Amino acid sequence: MNNIPDSSEAEKDHRLIILDTETTGINPREGHRIVEIGCVEMVNRQLTGRTFHAYIKPLDQRGNVFEMEQEVINIHGLTNEFLNDKPIFSQVVHEFIDFIRGAELVIHNSKFDVGFMDHEFSLFNSMNRSQDKVPMTEDICTITDTLKVSKEKLGSPKTLDYLARFYRVDKLIDRTYHGALIDAQLLAFVYIEMTRLQSTLDFSVGDGSNTDVNAIRRLPSTRNKLKVIAASADELDAHADRVAVIAKKGGEPLWK
C-alpha cells in the first residue's frame, strides 16, 4: 500500500502532503464514502518518493456494501466489483493518519476532501471505544487549498485540469481516469509551478546584515575580471558575409 523509504532526516524539514480522494458521490451527509486515497510527499518543495495509496470498500449506513452508480464509476473508473475485496476505511485509518500527521496538506478544493475525511473519522469514532478515537483533519494538519490559491493568482477559481494545462504539466501524468494518486501526483507538479515565485531568494551580502532585497548590490572592485573571447579572423569574415547578405536584401544590420 505504501512506498516508504527511510526519511527520518527529511521529515525534520517542511513537509507537504499533496492529497486527493475519490468517492461514491459528492455529499457525505447522503451516505457517500471515500473509495480511494492518494497522497504524495514533498519535503522542502522536493518530491521524496514517499506515497500513501489505498483503495477502500465503501459501506452504507447499515454496514452493507455501497453500490455506486455508473455515472460515478465513469469518472474514476473504480467498479463495485474491483472494490469488493479491498479493506474498509477502519482498516486503513491509523496508517493514513500516521502518514499525514503534522504535515501541511495541499488539496484542490479542500472543503470537499476534508469534509469526506472528517466524515470518515467521525464514523470510525462512533463505532469504536473512547480510547481508540481519531482526531479530525485540522487537529493534526494545516491545509492549503490550491483552488483558493488559483483564485488569488488568476482571478477566479480554476479546475485542476485547467491549472495543469496553464502550467504546462498536463502531459506529465496519464489521466485516463481521475484516480486519487494520479491526481495527487499531477497536483504536486501544479503546486510547484504555482508557487515557484514564492521561493525565497537571498540577496544579502557580506555578513547577511543587509536584509533589504531592493537594495543595490555592488560587486567588489577586487573581483576577477570577466574573460573576453575575441572573434577569430574566420569568424569576422563570416560575420561580414552575413551582414552583406542582409544589406543586399534591403535590411539595415545593427551589427556592422
CA distance 159 to 161: 5
Q: Which bin fits 195, alpha (ψ -120 to 50), beta or left (φ > 0)? A: alpha
Closest CA to 78 of 21, 30, 123, 40: 21
Of 76, 94, 178, 239, the active-site residue reads 178
The answer to whether 18 and 187 have CB atoms below 8 angstroms apart is yes
CA distance 98 to 122: 17
| Spatial strand order in the sheet of 142-145 | 2-3, 46-55, 34-43, 15-23, 104-107, 142-145
Is 239 among the catalytic positions?
no
Enumerate the H helices of the chain as residue ranges.
Answer: 70-76, 80-83, 93-100, 110-127, 137-140, 146-154, 160-166, 180-194, 233-248
Question: Which residues are tagged catalytic?
Answer: 178
